Amino acid sequence: MNSTTLSNTVICGDSLSTLREFPSSFVDCIVTSPPYYGQRDYAVDGQFGGEDTPSQYVTKLGELFDECKRVLKDGGSLWLNLGDKYLGGNLLGMPWRVALELQARGWILRNDIIWHKPNAMPHSAKNRLTTDHEYIFFFTKKESNYFYDQDAIREEHVTFTENSKMMGGKNHFGKNGGTPEKGKNGGNSNLHDGRWDQAFHPNGRNKRTVWNVPLSKFRGAHFAVFPEKLIEPCILAGCPRNGLVLDPFFGAGTTGVVASRLSRKYLGLELNSEYVDIAQKRLLSVQVDLLNFGKNRG
């Protein structure tokens, strides 16, 4: 196998054994969401999430991401989405168990991102809060000099808009000493000389670590799928244009769909043949749409 033949393909099979057949250092970025521990039976032998204990699940994922780390380029990144699980009324903290396991195996954890779900399903529990978030972990192989396109995912500035929560709002602007902060920022000329505009990038602020993205559905699938808006920033920031994005738990193929629309290549691994069929049909539809779009522009 080589990177050329693997680009824009979906392989049906066990992710770990398939990865072991791949060459090293050919993937630019990994974006994935493994089956959560104890959440769902996908009716396929060898599936992740059905281990007898949480520690077995964590170890198995650790072994898989060892192989992911091997096939990832030195300047590549991993964006990992995981949800949690209650067992006997006890929240297991599975996302952080996995994150710490990956750290112990040599991954560099750059950010923990909160995926806030504004349309989260209500829960019947009367003795605890309703969970409306999951985690995305941003990992790299190296501490520095990895690919990260900060400008591709900048957000709109808030500070000098009507949405600002800062005391005084726009009254700070252009006024020497006009900021209300005291303490550690008191007297800081960078903040208090009335030129806050110089601290703001013209294309927007650096993206924050709480992402407000609604749950989404894909009619062709009877299971949960990645919201496209959730993984767009992962691919835009983590993969160069025309680079290759790997998803070892491909499911309905949302990672491939988003990668294709953003002018990146994809490589999907999926154990369930039914899901492979769904993903391939979905990706074919996207390719047709992109081809028609190109013709209309021409």
90-91 and 108-116 as β-strands: parallel, antiparallel, unpaired? Answer: unpaired
Which residues are registered as beta bridge partners of 245? 29, 266
Contact 157, 166 (CB under 8 A): no
Q: What is the per-residue pLDDT for 44?
A: 75
Q: What is the DSSP letter of 10?
A: E
pLDDT value of position 182: 60
Q: Give residue for tokens 């900060």.
A: 150
Q: Are 42 and 34 in contact (CB under 8 A)?
A: no
Would you write out the chain's pLDDT as a tens digit for each of its 298 residues? 666 789 999 999 999 999 999 999 999 999 999 999 988 776 677 789 899 999 999 999 999 999 999 999 999 999 999 999 999 999 999 999 999 999 999 999 999 999 999 998 888 888 999 999 999 999 999 999 999 999 999 998 876 666 666 555 555 555 655 555 566 655 565 555 555 555 678 889 999 999 999 987 766 665 567 899 999 999 999 999 999 999 999 999 999 999 999 999 999 999 999 999 999 999 998 887 677 666 666 5
The answer to whether residues 247 and 256 touch, using CB atoms and an 8 Å cutoff, is yes
If DSSP codes are grouped into helix, strand and coil, which group holds residue 152? helix
pTM for the predicted model, two decimal places: 0.87
Residues pairing with 140 in the sheet: 77, 108
Token pair, residue 245, equals 């994005």
What sign has the CA pseudo-torsion 18, 20, 21, 24?
positive
Amino acid symbol at 140: T
Q: According to the model, what pLDDT value does residue 189 have?
A: 58
Domains of the chain: 3-155+208-297 (3.40.50.150), 169-199 (no CATH)
pLDDT attached to residue 186: 59
